[in-house]
Amino acid sequence: MSEEEFIVTRVRGVLALDSRGNPTVKAVVRTKGGVGVGIAPSGASKSTKEAVELR
* pLDDT tens-digit readout, 17-55: 988 888 889 999 999 999 999 998 776 677 777 777 776
Residue 22 lies in a domain: yes
Residue 46 lies in a domain: no
Answer whether 0.75 is exceeded by the pTM.
no
Residue 11 lies in a domain: yes
Which of 4, 6, 12 lies closest to 37, judged by CA? 12
What is the rounded distance in angstroms from the CA atom of residue 23 to the CA atom of residue 39? 11
Residue ranges with strand state E in 1-55:
8-17, 23-31, 34-39
Instruction: State the residue range of the domain holding 33.
Output: 3-39
Residue 51 lies in a domain: no
Q: pLDDT at position 55, please?
A: 66
Residue 29 lies in a domain: yes
Q: pLDDT at position 40, please?
A: 82
**Residues 14/25, Cβ–Cβ less than 8 Å:** yes
Q: pLDDT at position 22, please?
A: 85
